Amino acid sequence: MQPDYRPLTPDCLDAMLALEQAAHSTPWSRQLLASCFSERYFSGSLWQGQTLLGFYIADQVLDESTLMNVCVTPPCQGRGLGRRLMTLYIESAMARQVSQLWLEVRESNQAARRLYLSVGFVEQGRRKAYYSSAQGREDAVIMQKAL
């Protein structure tokens, strides 16, 4: 059965926070997630019944969008949900007349980097020592896609 696509709403915060904490080594806080329900942001999610499987959050300023967060529940990682969320993000951005997409990803997150490259993002630069990690600091790879 294919997961259902739904926009995120503030009613999803508990499920978003639980998923964020399960999937990320440095998860966003409830307050930060809640702050993404303003006019500047757009988002989407995949659900199986009442279970949140994954979501994305992006912002838009003029004709540019930055993917702020993408998250897939650990048991479903590697099953194409990340690709589906990226496709939904790109389609939503196009509908909003965005011309440039941007994101940052940990240098060590090879799976995510491969996914982003496969949907047309290209590496544009790095932010040195941007992320904290168990080994200290880690570079962020900046990626861009023109629409």
- ∠ at Cα 103 (131, 85), nearest 5°? 115
Full-model pTM? 0.94
Question: Residue 13 and residue 55: Cα distance in Å, rounded?
Answer: 11
Q: Domain residue spans in the chain?
A: 4-146
Question: Residue 60 and residue 100: Cα distance in Å, rounded?
Answer: 10
The residues with which 133 forms a beta bridge, in sequence order, are 136
Q: Is 136 helix (H, G, I), strand (E, B) or coil?
A: strand
* Residues designated catalytic: 104, 116
pLDDT tens digit sequence for 19-66: 999 999 889 999 999 999 999 999 999 999 999 999 999 999 999 999
Q: Which CATH superfamily is domain 4-146 in?
A: Gcn5-related N-acetyltransferase (GNAT) (3.40.630.30)
Q: Is 44 helix (H, G, I), strand (E, B) or coil?
A: strand
**DSSP assignment of 47-86, as one string?**
EETTEEEEEEEEEEETTEEEEEEEEE-GGGTTTTHHHHHH
Q: Is 12 helix (H, G, I), strand (E, B) or coil?
A: helix
Question: Residue 103 and residue 142: Cα distance in Å, rounded?
Answer: 6
Which two structure tokens, joined as six digits, stand for 33?
Answer: 């997630």
pLDDT tens digit sequence for 104-145: 999 999 999 999 999 999 999 999 998 887 778 999 999 999
Q: Report pLDDT for 136.
A: 84
